[in-house]
Homo-oligomer: A and B are copies of this chain.
Amino acid sequence: MRNDTNRQVILTSRPTDIPQAGHFELRESVVPEIGNGQFLLRNIYLSVDPAMRGWVSAVANYSEPVALGSVMRAISVGEVIESRHPDYAAGEVVCGLFGWQEFALSDGSEVWFKHDPALAPVSTALGVLGINGLTAYFGLLDVGQPKAGETVVVSTAAGAVGSAVGQLAKIQGCRTVGITGSDDKVALCREAFGYDAAVNYHADDLDSALAAACPDGIDVYFDNTAGRISDAVYRQLNVGARCAICGTASVSSWEPWPDGPRLERHLLVKRARAQGFLLFDFQDRFGEARTQLARWLNEGRLSYREDVLDGLEHAPGAIARLYAGENRGKLLIKLGDAPG
């Protein structure tokens, strides 16, 4: 189960835009020895997330930039293979910030939650039962507060977060409308994720396409994009609408800060709300949400897609792949098998 070599992906130069394979190097180091209060984790799946672009940026963000020469920060799920920590036992599966590497030493501070493989496959701890599903859950239900019969618009709708948002909104009894970036993904939204309608944001006239998809206006907007996609949505908000701002993926740079149509008047006239949120403000409720999400998953009401690359050597190019929209589901890198 254990060898002496720990292969790691190291950040070697700082991207100014989307991180590419060339910004990283594979390095071999020695698997560390554990001390008291520590455990050793064997990574099973590594996650590839849009947030990684921010993590390697020199610009201040939610967290400190990843230092040059160090292991790339990443969310992963793995098995505890040796422990001198009272809260973690060998054989347990945990999810957290263990980095793009085969083995990680931890004192527990990197752990987000334990995952019970009986609940759902280990890989879901990085997706629909991990930050993507949790982001959808709290952003939609707590910030967006959809009510049955309302229209919920999601940008972008076919991604790991958006696909969960659309399905959760459907479970709430809402009309769901997805905005996505290709005709293939429009079809995916309708067929795999149950959206009532889906719109390609490359449409010549996005306003008209959105109006046709939302004949009763828009009550809840789950926003992963900002920019011109959001501009079209804000023009069609209903009175009392709620916009949950989760990301700004369509805006390529905030230096210089971009202009757009002013939101204030839409918010005023429609008595609407726009609210940003951060998943980790809800950390004390992860257990509740994962239990509920697993129930819907096991009832067949929540489906997900994964795009799994096999082997650590795929990690360096994976962020660029994600930003190019080439993945068809949650992008994961598989390093090994689940326990048992």
A192 at the interface (CB under 8 A from B): no
Q: How many residues does chain A have at the interface if contact means C-beta atoms less than 8 Å apart?
A: 34
CA distance A61 to B189 in the complex (A): 36
B-chain residues with CB within 8 Å of residue A269 when the two chains form the complex: 62, 276
Q: Which of B245, B257, B262 sits near A268, CB closer than 8 Å?
A: B245
B276 A268 Cβ-Cβ under 8 A = yes
B-chain residues with CB within 8 Å of residue A246 when the two chains form the complex: 268
A230 at the interface (CB under 8 A from B): yes
Whole-angstrom distance from the CB of A222 to the nearest CB of chain B?
A: 13
Q: Could you say how many copies of this chain the assembly holds?
A: 2
Q: Which of B248, B259, B270, B275 sits near A273, CB closer than 8 Å?
A: B275
Q: Nearest chain-B residue to A254 (Cβ)?
A: B265
Whole-angstrom distance from the CB of A60 to the nearest CB of chain B?
A: 10
Whole-angstrom distance from the CB of A270 to the nearest CB of chain B?
A: 6
Interface string of A259-284 (1 = CB under 8 A from B): 11111111111111111111001000
B265 A226 Cβ-Cβ under 8 A = yes
Q: Which of B251, B264, B275, B276 sits near A223, CB closer than 8 Å?
A: B264
B264 A261 Cβ-Cβ under 8 A = no
B281 A268 Cβ-Cβ under 8 A = no
Can you list 25 residue pairs at the A/B interface with Cβ under 8 Å?
A223-B264, A226-B262, A226-B264, A226-B265, A245-B264, A245-B267, A251-B265, A254-B265, A257-B262, A257-B265, A259-B259, A259-B260, A259-B261, A260-B262, A263-B263, A264-B274, A267-B275, A267-B276, A270-B276, A271-B275, A271-B277, A272-B275, A272-B276, A273-B274, A273-B276
